[in-house]
A and B are shown apart, each in its own frame.
Chain A
Amino acid sequence: MSGALLEMRDVTKVYPNGVMANYKVRFSLREGEIHAIVGENGAGKSTLMKMMFGMEEPSEGEILLRGEKVKLASPQDAIDRGIGMVHQHFMLVPSFTVAENMVLGMEPKKGLGIHFAEAVRMTEEMSRKYNLAVDPKAKVENLTVGMKQKVEILKALLRGAKILILDEPTAVLTPQETEELFRELRLLKDQGHTIVFISHKLKEVKAICDRITIMRAGRSEDAFRTADVTEQEISRLMVGRDVVLKYDKEKREAGETILAVRGFSLAGSAGSRLLSDVGFTVRAGEIVGIAGVEGNGQTPLVEALTGSLAGTAVGGSVTVKGADILRADIRAIRKHGVSYIPEDRMRQGAAGEASIADNLISTQYASGKLGGGMFMNGGKIERLAASLIEAFDVRCSGPKQPIGMLSGGNMQKVVVARECSTEPDLLIAEQPTRGVDIGAAQFIHRKLIELRDRGCAILLVSADLNEILELSDKLLVLYEGRVTAYFEEPSAVGEEELGLYMLGINRQDPEQIGRAVHR
């Protein structure tokens, strides 16, 4: 394709632990556009961006800049070629002034020392040229997040960046700051800069981007003109579920209460409220869903339930089968018959270099079923692993294969298989199908329903609306650490209606919400 400023052709990236983060990804950036890369967490956006900025090298495929093949071995290579990047977590020295940060590594010299006045002048000049107002003499540690971001952008521009990569730039901004950022980005575009905008907020993508590349499970869809697609279409392509998932769930009478959270409030380190007066119960044989935009208290809630309480519980109780688990560690909590599918399978859910079998037995190696005393029975482990691999349809070369070599979907099946194999009384499933292909997602959903039918209580925390509406028997919405809605018939709730509660626009009355707590 001619006219492409930067092009990535069939780029594949396999990390040393065997994870294939990108597979034959195609990406083409035209001069002077704002181009969005969107996708769910784990879809491969950040890997793609790292390769663009020279932080990772592709295992296969090539990168072309202005039609010329380039090898970006380090960020310095990328900077030299006019590619700049603004990281999500800023790379600034807090104790230095803005001007000092701006010239870091390319300081104007005056004799042996640094020419500070010149640094200030350069900063002011850049600031005027791009209409990004910063105070060159202010210390970075005293700046607001929005200001720091401006410094980062200016820093990249000062180094001659013509292509600017912004990694989730609005994740940390207030709506007003976001508006301002967009004005600045449009200005940059008018001055001939090209911008890569990485995000998962579709509204913003629609608002500012010219074209959009969608990533899903490490692969790229074609680039679309943003004007040609609706938010719904983008979201469908991101999640990869053209077909809306539908399951025939048998209605069941819920059994006794397994998990009870009552009036639970949690204070964060800076005195902020993470959770306020959260109350609900999960009974045997039902799936209770928790919906909400990410960052509205789901993480602290799950942490509190799984023994890694962050912050101080300032009121209320959390019990499993009547036993207080608020101060217990995860080992003790698991002993109460609790299983947990964590949000991040790479960090917590699996040990990448260990075998599938070793990963499958980590929650029951000590139970006595795999050999008494201090020894473990290799034959029993092998049989258990083989049967779980078969039951959960894990595509692999055998139980001895390192789990890190599996695709995301197969790895997640191993995690789910392990957590289901102990026949838990309560399963806490946190984003159980994130970044997983449709087939594996459906498979995992069926397994969760099977487990529910066998009388397990399941708490499902998910940002995937289709998943949560379809699977849940009861549904709560969290907004800013509070329960804002409780539905007894989730399948009758529309996504739009749910969205109003998730965004805090609507709120049910306390009596309705209070019904979430059963005896």
Chain B
Amino acid sequence: MKAKYFEPFRTLAVILIALVIAFVIISLVSDRPLETILIFLWEPLATKGHIGNLIEMAIPLMFTGLSVSLLFRANLFNLGAEGIFYFSGVVAAAIAIHASLNGFLHPIAAIAAGSVVGALLSAIPGILKAKWNANELVTSLMFNNILFGVGLYILNYQLRDAKAFSSASYKFEPTALLSRIWPGTRVHAGLIIVLVMIVAAHVFLYKTKWGYELRMTGANRAFAGYSGIRTARVIILTHLIAGFIAGMGGSVEVLGMYTRFNWVSLPGYGLDGALVAMLAKNNPLSVIGAALFLSYIRNGADLMARLSDVPSEMISIVQAIIILLLSAEQFLKFWKNRMLLKEARKHG
């Protein structure tokens, strides 16, 4: 076994351990453990409707996972996708309500507005980091709160429909909604958009000069600077792109899944994006699989809660274990050390 296969292997091992623990918990809690496990594993794939649910939940996860992957790749620990996802959703909703355009241009305008606003908002922690070395984790987490507060204000005082029973906006113009692309499910055109974005990000990261600058800045900023790469610009550019993608994700989610804007709390996709990015090892193409996997176990847990006696919160434990083991550097390190030793000896 070579050291370069270590990371994928480790990820697989982590997932397996988490699933085994899930089974153990189910066995302890459930009266009919085998049946429950079967529901958890099989039910998300059992019907067309369920597969549709799985895919539709994976779409926002792919957007935020991709956004966070790019940031992590540049060694920027920014968790601001959460607030941007929310706020761009508000922006897209405002355009979906107030603009009147045809069915082709309307969603494009709304998504473009949400994405651009996301990019600009994301640039703020980026500039703070690049110019004054402000810790992007702190600034981006603070921004999540600020954006949520401002977004909620806009929802309650500008967009809110008094006739709706809860905090919800006016209905979107039908022209703004994203069309369904798979009859019988709610899978919407956002899937195509996100797949295009993922491929574009892959090409950007591995085939363009800007992507090269991003990877080198992430791998060793001192080295990148020494080579003549303007790392401050790379950091700001990375934030712009990541914010653009997160903002697009929020807009697409709102227009694809809802007819009114009704998020009165942060939806959590931004932080889930960090989990997807970790599972995908910050690789754009792997984000697809990672998001589908996360969506799969979440849907499995929901169905399990509905069809058996185990509550869906169980899945939080599984997720926590995955995050814990993936970020625990020591986990399986002895094994990597052995492989490294072997290779080091070979090359002397």
Contacts and interface: CB of A to CB of B under 8 A. Distances in A.
Interface of A: 12, 14, 16, 18, 20, 23, 59-60, 306, 330-331, 334, 340, 342, 347-354, 358, 361-363, 365-366, 371, 374-376, 378, 395-397, 402, 405-407, 410
Find the residue from A361, A362, A371 having the highest chain B CB count within 10 A: A362
B98 interface: no
Contact of A12 (B226, B229, B341): B341
B281 to A, nearest CB: 12
17 contacts: A23-B344, A350-B220, A351-B223, A358-B215, A358-B219, A362-B223, A362-B227, A363-B228, A365-B212, A374-B209, A374-B210, A376-B209, A376-B212, A397-B347, A402-B4, A405-B340, A405-B343
Interface stretch (B17-25, B138-146, B151-159, B329-337): B329-337
B344 A352 contact: no
Nearest to B227: A362
Given A349-B226, A350-B223, A354-B219, A20 B209 contact: no
A57 to B, nearest CB: 9
Contacts of B348: 395, 407
Contacts of A362: 216, 223-224, 227-229
Given A12-B341, A14-B340, A351-B223, A378 B215 contact: no
A16 B223 contact: no
Contacts of B228: 330-331, 334, 362-363
Nearest to B210: A374
B100 interface: no
Contact of A378 (B207, B226, B227, B229): B207
B344 A14 contact: yes
Contacts of B336: 16
A246 B212 CA distance: 41
B219 A330 contact: no
What 9 A-B pairs have minimum CB-CB distances, sorted nearest first?
A: A351-B219, A362-B227, A351-B220, A331-B228, A348-B226, A20-B344, A354-B219, A14-B340, A351-B223
B216 A18 contact: no
A351 B225 contact: no
Contacts of A350: 220, 223
Contact of A374 (B4, B208, B224): B208
Contact of B3 (A18, A371, A395): A18
Contacts of B4: 402
Contacts of B181: none
A495 B316 CA distance: 69
A395 B223 contact: no
Contacts of A395: 347-348
B226 A365 contact: no
Interface in B192-216: 207-210, 212, 215-216
Contacts of A340: 226
A216 to B, nearest CB: 15
Find the residue from B209, B225, B228, B230 having the highest chain A CB count within 10 A: B228
A381 B153 CA distance: 52
Interface string B290-308: 0000000000000000000
B222 interface: yes
Nearest to A359: B223
A374 B219 CA distance: 21
A60 B210 CA distance: 41
Is chain B's binding surface mostly helix, strand, loop or mixed?
helix
Is chain A's binding surface mostly helix, strand, loop or mixed?
loop
Given A363-B227, A395-B348, A59 B209 contact: no
A361 B348 CA distance: 25
Given A347-B222, A402-B4, 11 more contacts: A16-B340, A18-B340, A331-B229, A342-B226, A348-B226, A349-B223, A362-B216, A363-B228, A374-B208, A375-B207, A375-B209
Contacts of B225: 330
Contacts of A23: 344
A410 B212 CA distance: 23
B319 to A, nearest CB: 25
A408 to B, nearest CB: 12
Contacts of A366: 209
Given A349-B226, A350-B220, A351-B219, A59 B207 contact: no
A430 to B, nearest CB: 12
Given A14-B337, A16-B336, A331 B223 contact: no
A60 B341 contact: yes
A410 B220 CA distance: 19
A413 B210 CA distance: 26
Nearest to A377: B207
Contact of B224 (A14, A351, A375, A406): A351
B3 to A, nearest CB: 7
Contacts of B341: 12, 14, 59-60
B222 A348 contact: yes
Interface in B103-132: none
Contacts of B210: 374
B329 A376 contact: no
A405 B223 contact: no
A12 B3 CA distance: 17
Contacts of A353: 219-220
Contacts of B222: 347-348
A59 B226 contact: no
A406 B333 CA distance: 20
A396 B347 contact: yes
Contacts of B219: 351-354, 358
A60 B225 CA distance: 36
A23 B346 CA distance: 13
Contact of B337 (A59, A349, A405, A407): A59
Find the residue from A14, A59, A60 having the highest chain B CB count within 10 A: A14
Nearest to A350: B223
B216 A354 contact: yes
Contacts of B215: 354, 358
